[in-house]
Structure 1
Amino acid sequence: MRIAQLDDRTVLLTDEGAIDVPAELAADLFARWDDLREWSESATGAQPYDPAVLRAPLPAPRQIFAVALNYRPHTLEAGYEEPEAPLVFTKFPTSLTGPYTTVDLPPGNVDWELELVAVIGHEARRVPTEKGWDPVVALTVGQDLSERIAQLAGRPAQFSLAKSHPGFGPVGPALVSLDEIEDRDDLELTCELNGEVVQHDRTGNMIFPIPRLVAYLSEFCTLLPGDLIFTGTPAGVGNRRTPQRFLTPEDELVSRIGSVGEMRHRFRKATP
């Protein structure tokens, strides 16, 4: 099951097109998740759609968590030792954008970070690691775009602010239910910039897999339906290259994760 936002409508994406989700299910998506899955198995009436008008599949989550240094090669390229516990920051909901938008580049050095995003489906608190998948109902593709000058200027650094400019949280194209994922613990990640592969790894190489992240976060916070967890990026980000490389107007960034989906973004200079 692949649930998306098409203009202002909640839809089921199929090979044949998009099917409007009944209003009573769309109104309380996660509370009715099982009903939604049952409906999706026999839903009909697919119509062609333009992917360009897909929005973020969750336009206004209450909490967005993100994890730094969660792949060993990225930890090494950043010049740090492997963390003993997840390093967590937040992105603000106004940073979210859809899977095929044009993102405004503010002044500074804007970098890419492809990430698998876990979607929480029900309230969870103090979840044991062995049950860490239980609150997760879907996965989606994410980019944790980051303006590096502001991010690294402060002591401590300003991770959340520098990663929350408008458009700096692309997600999509859909919420993919776990039954659609062949191996939820080992998905291929590929990020391309203008056709060149700049990041490539597998989620099986995370230092802290999704069940551990859910357990750790739920020790501190109550996880809520619709919360997003950006699970960390692999090696290959622009600010750790020699020479450094950052996003520029007219670049095309392609973000692809296994059976979860693909996003495409272009960029332009932000106007005052």
Structure 2
Amino acid sequence: MRSYMNSGNCPRCRQQILNFAYSLVNGELSLAAYATGLTFTQRLRLAPGGAPVTFTPPNTFTCLFCRENWEIRDEGRRDLSGGLHLGTTTSPLFSTSVDAATPFTSRALSPAQFSFAGIAPKRSSEVVVVRKESKVMRNNSSATLTRREDFSWARERTVTIEERKATIKGTKGELTLAGLAALGGTLTDEVRSMYAVTSQEKLMRTTSVSAELPPYSAIEIYLEWTLVRELGVGRFTESEGARVEMPFAVDIDLSVEWHSRDAHD
């Protein structure tokens, strides 16, 4: 654990987990493992939000690169480096339950083994509020006036791939996060092609608002811009029967609704 604190690297695969700032903080941390496990402060410093590491009570850490675990065990003594003794367990990224008497063996899967098998036929959509704005229209004259205002907005059309929500079936094998990211890149290209999403393409919407204003009055116009996204699942297969399903979302349309109310200074 002391090497992890000082370097910020996984003790198993040596990939960097903590950035330099975290390493400085952790290097000053005095560890003590009790029967109840690490304290909240120790857990927060050693497995901060956003870092590729998870913590499982009472004192087990999991690297999200290699999926290897290391555990702090309170055995009543410290090693020569001042750190605590580490135990080793393994935890695959994806697995199926097996009999406890049967040794668990898993094969490492490579993204090169998988071929894109298409988009699942069942798809859905969602509407997401992406922008809100308002504007006041005034009539400072003694006559009733009709005001008109044009509103426009544009945003880049995007494809979102949910690699971390991918599932793998039909195998006891495992894919690393890097492997999932590689498949995610393939799916991005396929979805962009299927939905004709070009580079730096923008969705744009314009609406006109007309309102009749009595003398010496004002109204406030409220606009809510929403994004329509189609949700789907990309599928990958490999020769020995493994299947990967990876969710995605693609921007389809931009819409806007408005309402008004009297404005009071």
Larger gyration radius, structure 1 or structure 2: 2
Write 1 or 2 for the structure with the bigger share of strand.
Answer: 2
Q: TM-score range by the shorter chain?
A: under 0.3
Q: Which has the higher contact order (CA 8 A, sep 6+)?
A: 1
* TM-score, scaled relative to structure 2: 0.25
